[in-house]
Amino acid sequence: MAADGETDADTDPPDAPHPAFEGYAAEPVPQAAVGSPGKDGVLELTFAATEGGTALVHDYATVPFHVSGTLGHDPHPDAETVFLQSPTGGVAQGDRHDVTIRAEADAVAHVSTQSSTKVQSMDCNYAAADATLSVGPGAHLDYVPEPTILHADARYCRETTLTLAPGATAVVSDVVVPGRLARDERFEFERYLSRIRVEGPDGLLFTDATHLTPADADPTAPGVLGEFTVYGTAFVVAPERDTAALSDRLHAAVTDAEARAGATELPNGAGVAVRALGDRAETVQATLHAAWDCARRDILDAPAPSGRKL
């Protein structure tokens, strides 16, 4: 789960499944097939700076994505917010989701989800979500979805690619809940992979991956999640900042949090990673929100938006 350099998997064709999911990909889906309407969701958002602040200038969504508009409640006076919605009960086997978000030059954008992403139980194939994020010169993007909940037997592969122009910054977070905890469902999913690749103007800055297969390796073992259940990461990507000083500030922001957390510098001066472990999603979210708030004050001189969905 540590950041590192490029691997062979980083050069896979964009539509090819991750090697860990190749076996699942050959399994036919008995209900709606892979790629059929409602299974192959597409979302496109483009934000641009205007005289009146950042505006959503392009949006396109197919089921299961829905965009009902923007919310102008960000503490930053020039920022714009979009909460992604879904009319479905969650992510099902055979689903393929493709998200593209662009923040053009000098735009300030915040994208989240209205509620948690529930990855349903599966007995064939798998579900995949690809997010392509690009941040233009001097722009800033916050991509902070609600937690991902992995139901029993779920197989989920998530790939995120972030590209930054000169002067661009971003915060990308990810919280994973390994089951419906209120039902004592813990680590009963089959496979979960979340991988992020970040590139700057001069090429690769870092890659990072979380790959959990509870049947093969106990996630509660020492050095993995240990005594904790919920895992979260926030990447504060700010290549032109003093990352050592930023890491110290972010570490101080989460030291007294209820979740166990810490901050560390990313490779190649890319920014800072904040990781948090806890027993409940709420505590991990609150901890990462504290780090996000600290990062926004440092980068944008404005606090992070409230976690409340209005």
- pLDDT tens digit string along 109-166? 999 999 999 999 999 999 999 999 999 999 999 999 999 999 999 999 999 999 999 9
The DSSP bridge partners found for residue 141 are 109, 170
Query: How high is the pLDDT of residue 263?
Result: 97
Q: Is the dihedral of CA 12, 17, 23, 26 positive or negative?
A: negative
Residue that the structure tokens 């007294």 belong to: 256
Helix (H, G, I), strand (E, B) or coil at 175: strand
The CA-based diameter of the chain, rounded to the nearest angstrom, is 55
User: Closest Cα partner for 61 from 72, 49, 71, 46?
Assistant: 46
Query: How high is the pLDDT of residue 15?
Result: 65
Q: How far is CA 29 from the centre of its chain?
A: 27
Instruction: Please give the structure tokens belonging to residue 273.
Output: 């990673």
Q: Which residues of the chain have pLDDT under 50?
A: 2-3, 5-11, 13-14, 310
The number of CA neighbours under 13 Å toward the Cβ of 232 is: 34
Query: How high is the pLDDT of residue 10?
Result: 46
How far apart are alpha carbons 153 and 136 in whole angstroms? 39
Determine the residue type at 109. A
Residue 109, classified by CB atoms within 10 Å of its CB into exposed (0-12), middle (13-18) or buried (19+), is buried
